[in-house]
Each structure stands twice: as structure tokens, then as C-alpha cells.
Amino acid sequence: MANTNLDEHAPHLSVTEARQAQRGRHVLMMLIASVALATIVLALAWAWRAGDLRHADSSTASRIAAGQPVETKPVQPAPSVNGPKPNDLSN
């Protein structure tokens, strides 16, 4: 038993109108809050690691600026998946 009384007073909307949301103050407040929270988290993460960044910058950048050699580790070639190459005589 359907209640036809409710159907008569319901607003008649198209499918597109029924699917659209209302923009309002709550959407703006959510956007502002999320951007502020992201900014705070980014600032805290940067402040937490700022000492490490300062140390790396001062030691490496000053050596490069002074023309001194910078310690680097040699890059090792990746091991071959298919075995040694035919012209590889190191084994």
C-alpha cells in the first residue's frame, strides 16, 4: 500500500537536480580547516627534520663552495640476473 499523499507533495526534480549538492558555508569551513591542518602538519614535519637538513647543507655545501672533495661512496653495479657476460673475465 503506497501512500500517494506523500508523492503529491514531493518536489518534482530532474535527475540532474536531485544529484547536485548544495554548496554553502560548511564546505568552505571544511576546505579552510583541511588546508590549515595540512599546513600545520607540513610545518611540523619540516621543523622536526630542520636540524638534519641544516647539518647536511652546512657540511656538503661549504665543502663544495671551498672546492674541497666531498666524500661519496662508489656505486656498485647491480648483479646480473642472467649470469656473467661472455667478456667478463673477473671470475
The whole-model pTM stands at: 0.41
* 81 pLDDT above the threshold of 60: yes
Distance of alpha carbon 28 from alpha carbon 64, whole angstroms? 48
| C-alpha triplet 80, 82, 83: angle, nearest 5° | 70
CA distance 48 to 53: 10
> Tens of pLDDT along 31-80?
999 999 999 999 999 888 877 766 665 666 677 777 777 777 777 777 76
Q: What are phi and psi of 22, to 5 degrees?
A: -95, 130
* pLDDT value of residue 4: 57
Task: Please tell me the distance from the alpha carbon of residue 13 to that of residue 19, in angstroms, as a whole number.
Answer: 10
Residue 9 or residue 24, greater confidence: 24
Residue recorded with cell 647536511: 56
